[in-house]
Structure 1
Amino acid sequence: MTDIPEFASQAARHGPFFIVFNGGSGSRDAGEEQQTIGRVLQDGGREFEFLQCEASESMDMLARRAVDLARARRGVVVAAGGDGTINAVANAVLGSGCPFGVLPQGTFNYFGRDNAISQDSGKAAQVLLAGLVSPVQAGKVNGRLFLVNASVGLYPQILEDREAWKKQFGRSRFVAFLSGMATLLQSRRQLQLRIESAGQAASLRTPTLFVGNNRLQLTRAGIDEQHAESVAQGQLAAVAVRPIGTLALFGLLLRGLLGRLGDAENIRSFSFKRLTVTPRGMKRIKVATDGEIAWMQTPLVFEVAQEPLLLLVPMPADQVKVE
């Protein structure tokens, strides 16, 4: 069990909240959400400040600014948004010694749900006031943090296409499903990967490699329970699809939606602490981390971060049952 630094404990109990707010996450009204959150924190007698991106400021820059403020004023950094926003803020918080809070605002909210945090902004704000500081595992790929998953190949392409569909048709699980089907119809590429872990090496041909750090997402997809639970034991879970045709890929998509992906014979899954992945003939490759796409130099190194996030989680009586 990781000891909680006194700085983090004191900040969580008494410090101000610096809330990185992404008003574009999910389908809620940003103004109403801010009012709800602000009312709860004000009633709780705590200082708070909403931080939003200025004209030339990226989310990463805003997150670093929030961390600087929290360290200077012994406060808490809070991410209000979807999994992508939470990822960007957590990436700045990790290793800073600051406690970290989340106010889930997105479509899927796997990180918040896996940590029993309510999707209701008012109830989630109450967790900031009366929660416990708990160490939570983070994954990394080439130094970039991920809390839910990281992937290469077909899955990043699905995510890119999904964002384009959302801009045109709106944010919903149904739109995400349709865009995924459209991507599968156009996909033909296979990756040739050399993977190394714990002194063992192997070659792998696959359209996509998915690395999970979220038990809820892995369990919902039907990945073998042993691999899903390995996340709770300080490991990451990898899922690779064997080379198959488009029709079989559709079948895997449906199995994932039905929570039966682990039963498929075309799926290979395994757990690890550190995995080196070298794509043949590629010096750079697109990598998705919690829904955000970036180009990275190869080889890729997936690993458990040495330090945990110091997350504010609900007291046992306030934990929300995962739906």
Structure 2
Amino acid sequence: MTPGDLKLLVNANSRRGRVSVGPAVGALAAAGLRVTALVVTDSRAAEDLLRAEVERGAPWVVVGGGDGTLSHAANLLAGTNTALGVLPLGTGNTFARSVGVPLDLARAARVVAQGQTTAVDVGRVNGRVFLNSVALGLSAQIARSLDGDLKRRLGLLAWPAVGARVLWRHRALDLTLTSAGGTLRLHTHQLLVANGRYVAGPLRAAPGASVADRQLDVLVFGKGRLVSLLRAGIGWTLGDPALRFSTDELSVRTRRGQEWMSVDGEVTLGTALQLRVQAGALRVRVPRGFDASRV
């Protein structure tokens, strides 16, 4: 790659996006790369730019933003030879943690410039790529209640601030899960299907989970009573997740009509999900010596 060929795509709506374009360009320059910065505010423009990079055969493209921005980029880059360079500018920066990219801008830029390219798994839900997790229940309701200003001001603390308000009026879900292991009927406040090791900033999905294990980890929090939800949540944060099983494919159906679901932080309504892992589908710039299975 010659100087000037590398594109930096920055989401101006991410937590640090508006103020990070100059520092990001400077950090990449200090690491030995000259880039053309492309600042976008909507997903369609970002997709057009990424598609153009893939079509011209770019070896990699750098994306600056949060998990939602990276997830949308991965949806275009998965299955191609164009690798994703990560500059974490979001709130939780979950995917960056899962692939070992430092949260410090200068160090992340050095990974892009001097690291290695490796292949990692992605999840797919109804055909769309996700990097971290798909969630139904309480966390989706919290994500739906968050606004950009609150996330910019409080960062990860915005989640408990809003969660305390949402928790007491949240109703449990009735779900049917089907995988190669059989069918499971659930009454729970929270279902989480994770692709990587981390699912919400520094919170880990399950021991041994990684973006290179060719599996999705299915976690269930509680049995429909708030006290069981709280107990499961506390256990999870202490390293004892409510992991029911791991699978490479999963079907989820709601039994009471549409429910809110969060796909890498993007909230939508749905009644049926078809999930699967796509092993090694995404090429990513990672630190030298990085082993995704051991993060």
Work out whether the TM-score is over 0.5. Answer: yes
Amino acid paired to 2:135: S
Distance 2:149 2:230 in 1: 19
CA distance in 1, matches of 2:222, 2:38: 44
SS of equivalent to 1:316 = coil
Deviation at 1:99, TM superposition (A): 1.3
1:138 and 1:308 in contact (8 A); partners too: yes
Deviation at 1:115, TM superposition (A): 1.5
| 1:96 equivalent among 77, 80, 91 | 80
- TM-score of the two chains, using structure 2 as the length reference: 0.86
The within-5 A match list for 1:288-303 is: 288-296=262-270, 298-303=271-276
Deviation at 1:23, TM superposition (A): 2.9
Give yes or no for contact 2:135–2:191 (8 Å, CA) kept in 1: yes
Confirm whether residue 24 of structure 1 aligns to residue 3 of structure 2.
no
State how far apart, in whole Å, the 2-side matches of 1:21 and 1:222 are. 27
Count of residue pairs the alignment pairs up = 293
- 1:310 corresponds, among 266, 280, 283, to 283
Partners of 1:272 and 1:45 in 2: how far apart? Answer: 42
Of 235, 241, 262, the match for 2:221: 241
Question: Deviation at 1:103?
Answer: 0.2
Query: Could you say which residue in structure 1 is the equivalent of 2:64?
Result: 80
RMSD: 3.1
- Is 1:69 the counterpart of 2:53? The answer is yes
Amino acid at match of 2:25: G
The 1:200–1:62 alpha-carbon spacing in structure 2 relative to 1, beyond 3 Å, is same
Distance of aligned partners of 1:211 and 1:199 in 2 relative to their CA distance in 1, 3 Å threshold: closer
User: Residues 73 and 181 (structure 1 numbering): CA distance in 2 closer, same or farther, change over 3 Å?
Assistant: same
Higher strand share: 2
Alignment correspondent of 1:115: 99
Q: Distance in 2 between matches of 1:281 and 1:195?
A: 14
Q: 2:207 — aligned with what?
A: 225
**What residue is the counterpart of 1:190 in the other structure?**
172
2:192 to 210, 227, 231: 210
* Distance (whole Å) between structure 1 residues aligned to residue 50 and residue 69 of structure 2: 13
Q: Give CA deviations for 1:232-265 in whole Å, capped at 9, x if unaligned.
A: 4210101112324334434444444x42442xxx
- The 3-state SS of whatever aligns with 1:171 is helix
Gapped regions of structure 2 (runs ≥ 5): none
User: CA, structure 1 residues 134+252, in 2 after alignment: closer, same or farther (shift >3 Å)?
Assistant: same
Q: How has the CA–CA distance of structure 1 residues 250 and 99 changed in structure 2, closer, same or farther, with 3 Å as cutoff?
A: same
Between the aligned partners of 1:246 and 1:165, the Cα distance in structure 2 is 29
Taking a change above 3 Å as real, the CA distance of residues 118 and 207 of structure 1, as seen in their structure-2 partners, is same
Per the TM alignment, residue 137 of structure 1 is displaced from its structure 2 partner at its CA by: 0.8
**How far did 1:95 drift?**
1.9
Partner of 1:6: none
| Residues 1:274 and 1:60: Cα distance change in structure 2 (over 3 Å) | farther
**Gap change, CA 1:113 and 1:268, over 3 Å in 2:** closer
Q: CA deviation at 1:201?
A: 1.8
Aligned residue identity for 2:21: Q
Calculate percent identity across the aligned residue pairs: 27
- CA gap 1:252/1:170 in 2 versus in 1, 3 angstroms: farther
Distance 1:91 1:261, change over 3 A: same
Residue type of the alignment partner of 1:278: R
More helix per residue? 1
Alpha-carbon distance, 1:43 to partner: 5.0
**Largest Rg, 1 or 2:** 1
